[in-house]
Amino acid sequence: MKVEQFSLDQLRTLLAGSGLRVKAGPFNLSIQTCLPSLTDQLYRMYSHYSLVDETEIAEFHVRIIPKHSIRRPFVRLIQFQVDGRAPFPPVPVEQALATLEWGINLVIAMRVNHLLLFHSAAVERNGHVLLLPAWPGSGKTTLCTALIHRGYRLFSDEFGLMDPQSGEFFPLPRLMPLKNQSIGVIRDYLPEAVLGPEIPGTLKGTVAHVRPPQESIERADETAKPRWIVFPKWSAGAALRLESLPQSEAFLLLATNAFNYEVLGETAFDAVTSLVRNCECRKLVYSDFDSALAALDELTDG
């Protein structure tokens, strides 16, 4: 069963009661909230997600709850909670969706240690994964959004989830937060993309989430092996460059970019070594989508 098969009233009852239990790639999430505005947004943005079987356990239990502040009595605040704990301070109610999504990402980054977690977008084409590791601000979510609307399957805009033993990558197709100017850029370039509300005033400025394509969510159980690693960087006015990257440099960039490399120790050392040895490594500098997509299509055609 999918979220879209509920009526809005049914979803509201579920979210306010025992929780909405949805599959997010290899994880099961339980979400609770009684906020009407957030319920409406989840109804639209989570419509393609499947519900978790009643027999399965949800790894992460998250809630968005109303919060009252003596210092800010006239501002409606909310707070994100995971297993009853609040890792973030309260924020205005308008930021509920962004806070929920960031909170879920934080929980995954902090708690998942059976997989190696790269801070990376990951998409699939021709049966293999293209990893796009990058630092915040490099435009990886924006590029990832363009790719998944041009024939690539979304694994994640935020996490490259690698099984260190098998080398397989797991899809984790979740909402993708575009920030500031990227919102207008994507609205112009991809009018067909489904975006959530613009949420101003967050720590990262204005945010609007992209809903993952239905096919990517429906195929979230299909893992794949990586074949290409491309470190992207958007640079205004730059001519396109897709250059080979020495494997030693790729190793260092990946090892320092992984959330839990040091936790996994030798396992991570072997996994990153194997990953780099088995992939073509490039760095990409671009300023427009058309040329970047053409270059990545050519790379992943083979």
Partner 1 sequence: MYWRLNSSLSSIRIKNWGGEFTVFQPESGKTHFLNEMGLQILTILDRSPATLETICKALSEYFSLQPDKDFPGQIAKTLHRFETLGLITRVKEHA
> Least separation, in Å, of the C-beta of 296 and partner 1?
25
Asked if residue 251 binds partner 1 (CB under 8 A), the reply is yes
Nearer to partner 1, 33 or 260 (CB): 260
Stretch that binds partner 1, among 108-116, 128-136, 147-155, 267-275 (CB under 8 A): 267-275
Dump strand ranges (E) for the chain. Answer: 20-24, 27-33, 60-67, 77-82, 91-92, 116-125, 128-133, 153-156, 159-162, 169-170, 176-179, 199-202, 205-210, 225-234, 241-244, 280-286
* C-alpha radius of gyration, the chain, whole number: 19
Supply the DSSP symbol for 127: T
CB neighbours of residue 10 within 10 Å: 12
| Distance between CA atoms of residues 80 and 63, nearest Å | 6
Residue 62 to residue 84: CA distance in whole angstroms: 8
CB 274 to partner 1: min, Å = 10
Binding part of the chain for partner 1, among 52-60, 210-218, 225-233, 259-267 by CB under 8 A, reads 259-267
Q: Out of 248, 278, 287, 291, name the contact with partner 1 by CB under 8 A.
A: 248
> Does the footprint of partner 1 cover residue 269 (CB under 8 A)?
yes
> Interaction with partner 1 in 208-247: which residues (CB under 8 A)?
246-247
Judged by CB, which is closer to partner 1: 235, or 244? 244
**Site size with partner 1, rule: CB under 8 A:** 13
Residue choice 68, 215, 265, 290 for contact with partner 1 (CB under 8 A): 265
Least separation in angstroms between CB 266 and partner 1 = 6
3-state DSSP assignment of residue 250 = helix
List binders of partner 1 among 23-42 (CB under 8 A).
none
Among the residue ranges 76-84, 159-167, 237-245, 268-276, the one whose residues contact partner 1 (CB under 8 A)? 268-276
Contact 248, 295 (CB under 8 A): no
* Contact status, residue 258 vs residue 116, Cβ threshold 8 Å: yes
Does 273 bind partner 1 (CB under 8 A)? Our answer is yes
Number of residues written out for the chain = 302
Six token digits for residue 152: 């690539």
Q: Which is nearer to partner 1, 189 or 269 (CB)?
A: 269
**Which residues of the chain form contacts with partner 1 (CB under 8 A)?**
246-248, 251-252, 255, 261-262, 265-266, 269-270, 273
